[in-house]
Structure 1
């Protein structure tokens, strides 16, 4: 069987930032993760029994730069790499130091959509002092969300590399802009990648490669306490507490020191592969998720970024995306 679905899990996110002090307060004091400084330009956060879930390098990007995917076994790992290599896409083996920083073995890297490097690894290193209060396991770390002017190619990419399946769609209108969001899964988690695209004129109003990332907490109290800490510590809140229409997750969205959003969620639905059928939902939320603190200047900056995107070419990996997958 060549299908790798179910043997792939979101493992970690790599972030480049100059705001180490702010990230330390955000990650440890607000979100509740454990932090370790590896050297003067590298730190990482833990939220379960893994050595690394978020790796931060010192640099100017203020953005995510790579996504790490845990592959269950060496046979599946080789199958994934063969898909990339056979299509002529370059792969690079991670150095021993890179693997050690990520707390993994057998690390390889290849290009991904929007300039996000994709890293695959086997055998994560366990920490003897696990962090409690977060949900990972079979579903992996959580999910990432990206905006794209070529959503079919992003979906095609993850289908080609990881046999990703479409979970559902959400149609939403924000500030008069129509969006279609595609939710892709690679295991029992409702989605590991969400892809949002504007209808009509193809614009991308988001500066960063990812629009948000998500982590899941074990109890409702964990979520409400994190919400209170984020506000008390003065970090920006992008969206207030609310509940999503499709995965039913209760969550809020904070603004990270690097500018993209960080969703803390609780109790999303799990997928039953024997019965699940994709559907389209109208609106991202059943209730709540009200925008918080967005100023006129913030909106003008988004409009400027959207206009700028018309003159830019979004990075894709054509050999792995093909013509893309049209909507079902």
Structure 2
């Protein structure tokens, strides 16, 4: 690692979700997944996983999607280094207002454009809440690994990889090759700290457009115990929320998990016990298939959507939004 690298100082800190389905989201997040919930006003609410004031900020709007990814940066020096990188590439940077920072429970907030139209936010000095957690789960694994990961489908995976390498010094952890309904997917997993991955980028080949409506295919949070995973899985079923994939275990990070469908349509993975990367010994490899066992499709999943896109909408191709100035060069498309 060179002296100017910010690897290890960056952690997935919060996500901003835009939705008009507040009642459904409150029930999903609180009663099914088991997070702590706070109402800020009629147009804003938050979920907490730990002592930080905000992990998920939900605001009213039509997107029904994740609209911003928030990265906590350990110190002001690394924060300013990332800011300088983005500005040096001619990409506009906007300072968050005091109110926006307060909503996210942070001291400093900057935002700039990201791939697929997902705004990237960097922040420092999270505010710790004095209010005890009131949630069904016993806890969630955050800390140095950040709060989980985000998975994105892309027709331009090399550009997306280049972006996160340029901005955050992201490292390639490994690949998974998977074929679904005749469509070949190559999924690359990127890490910015000890978590196996904070970003998963699925390259969609053989399709003219991205088969997933939302910018984010799924997001992940890590349960503190196997009992928490099992109980939340049961609550999702009992409360009538759609399940996308049943409990299974991944080939690469060995995480046990399931995927539920959120009120906004993208998927929400609850996982438990993934491996932690040892930087001194880790070498990237390729795994065949996403699961060792389980993860059986339940109802309509990405498999169904891939079939529909293969057969019906080739005339609707449109370019994927990228940020060329930050997307680097020389990263193979594999």
Q: Name 2:296's counterpart in structure 1.
A: 290
Q: Does 1:235 align with 2:237?
A: no
Query: 1:326/1:275 Cα in 2 relative to 1: closer, same or farther (>3 Å)?
Result: same
Query: How many angstroms does 1:299 deviate by?
Result: 3.9
Residue aligning to 1:38: 40
- Which residue does 2:258 correspond to in 1? 252
Q: What's the counterpart of residue 66 of structure 1?
A: 68
SS at match of 1:135: coil
SS of 1:303's partner is: helix
Question: Which residue number corresponds to residue 96 of structure 1?
Answer: 98
**Considering only aligned residues, what root-mean-square deviation do their CA atoms show, in Å?**
2.0
* Contact residue 17 and residue 65 of structure 2 kept, 8 A: yes
Give the 3-state SS of the residue equivalent to 2:313 in structure 1.
helix
Structure 2 unaligned segments of length 5 or more: list them: none
How far apart, in 1, do the equivalents of 2:76 and 2:96 lie? 16
Moved more, 34-43 or 76-85: 34-43
CA distance, structure 1, for counterparts of residue 302 and residue 250 of structure 2: 26
Q: What's the counterpart of residue 20 of structure 1? A: 22
User: When the two structures are superposed, what TM-score results if normalisation uses the length of structure 2?
Assistant: 0.94
Displacement after TM superposition at 1:198 (Å) = 2.0
User: Is the Cα contact below 8 Å between 1:15 and 1:57 reproduced in 2?
Assistant: yes
Matched, 1:195 2:201: yes
Larger displacement relative to structure 2 (269-278 or 131-140): 131-140
Correspondence for 2:161 among 107, 130, 155: 155
| Equivalences for residues 265-284 of structure 1 within 5 A | 265-284=271-290
Structure 1 residue 200 displacement after superposition: 3.9
TM-score normalised according to structure 1 size: 0.96
1:125 to 127, 149, 153: 127
- Give the match's secondary structure for 1:75: helix
Please give the secondary structure, in 2, of the residue aligned with 1:230: helix
Report the counterpart of residue 146 of structure 1 in structure 2. Answer: 152
Give the aligned partner of residue 52 of structure 1.
54
> Any stretches of 5+ residues in structure 1 without a counterpart?
none
From the superposition, tell whether residues 326 and 163 of structure 1 become closer, same or farther in structure 2 (CA, over 3 Å).
Answer: same
Q: 1:219 aligns with which of 217, 225, 229?
A: 225
Shift in Å, 1:308: 6.0
Q: Is the 8 A contact 1:204 1:309 kept in 2?
A: no
User: Aligned residues, how many?
Assistant: 328
Offset of residue 127 of structure 1: 1.0
Paired residue secondary structure (1:134): coil
CA–CA distance in 1 between the matches of 2:330 and 2:60? 35
How far apart, in 2, do the equivalents of 1:297 and 1:288 lie? 15
Contact 2:139 2:224 in 1 (8 A): yes
CA distance 1:82–1:230, shift in 2 (3 Å)? same
Change (3 A) 1:159 1:306: farther
Q: 1:95 to 1:190 in 2, by over 3 A?
A: same
Residue 256 to residue 295, structure 1, CA distance change in 2 (3 Å): closer
Deviation at 1:199, TM superposition (A): 2.8
Measure how far apart 1:32 and its partner are.
Answer: 0.7
8 Å CA contact retained: 1:48, 1:130: no
Cα distance in 2 between the residues matched to 1:70 and 1:287: 34
Offset, 1:325: 1.3
* CA distance in structure 2 between the aligned counterparts of 1:251 and 1:171, rounded to whole angstroms: 19
